[in-house]
Amino acid sequence: MSRLADDIERVQLGMAAGLLGHAAELLADRRVTESELHYLASRLSESLRDVKRVADSRGARLAQPGP
């Protein structure tokens, strides 16, 4: 189960990194539309929620005493 969680976290963090790269490109384009910015903001919000979940999960694991 732990390995599955690690794999999911890896995918979520990778997607966040890719989205940040896309956001930088989109924001550099002065012709970006309001609709495109709204879509970007929605995806960034979802990604931030996932990354926060990963951080909370890892923080909870760190707080537990080891065997």
Whether the predicted pLDDT of 66 surpasses 70: no
The count of other CB atoms within 10 Å of the CB of residue 24 is: 9
pLDDT digits (tens, 9 = 90+) for 3-49: 888 899 999 999 999 999 999 999 999 999 999 999 999 999 999 99
Whole-model pTM above 0.85? no
Whether the predicted pLDDT of 67 surpasses 80: no
**Distance between CA atoms of residues 44 and 53, nearest Å:** 14
Residue pair 51/16 in contact by the 8 Å Cβ criterion: yes
**Distance between CA atoms of residues 67 and 54, nearest Å:** 22
Amino acid at 6: D
Please tell me which residue, 2 or 12, carries the higher pLDDT value.
12
Mean pLDDT of 41-64: 88
Run of H or E including 37: helix 34-63
